[in-house]
């Protein structure tokens, strides 16, 4: 097993779990981040840690977790030829 395959075995499930949690708990995560910003005295705008941002981040993590496994274990994305 190569280093990339080992990393894929470890990180793909973790990214998938975090991605699902970001999607499912997007409102709770957003509210917690806004409270933390408010407690620190930072400005809170309409786009500060918006729930939509949490959903987009979760979808991105799910995409990464599904792409890294075929990349690591198959020749779907072949390496560039040596120069």
Q: What is the mean pLDDT of residues 32-40?
A: 89
Q: How many CA atoms lie within 13 A of 73 on its CB side?
A: 10
- Rounded to the nearest angstrom, the gap between the alpha carbon of residue 8 and the centroid of all alpha carbons in its chain is 14
pLDDT at 70: 86
pLDDT at 34: 87
**Whole-angstrom distance, CA of residue 62 vs CA of residue 23:** 10
- Confirm if 29 and 55 have CB atoms less than 8 A apart: no
């Amino acid at each position: 097993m190569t280093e990339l395959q080992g990393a894929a075995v470890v990180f793909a499930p973790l990214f998938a779990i975090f991605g699902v949690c970001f999607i499912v708990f997007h409102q709770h995560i957003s509210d917690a981040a806004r409270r933390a910003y408010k407690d620190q005295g930072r400005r809170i705008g309409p786009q500060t840690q918006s729930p939509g941002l949490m959903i987009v981040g979760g979808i991105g993590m799910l995409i990464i977790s599904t792409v890294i496994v075929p990349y690591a274990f198959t020749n779907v994305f072949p390496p560039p030829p040596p120069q």
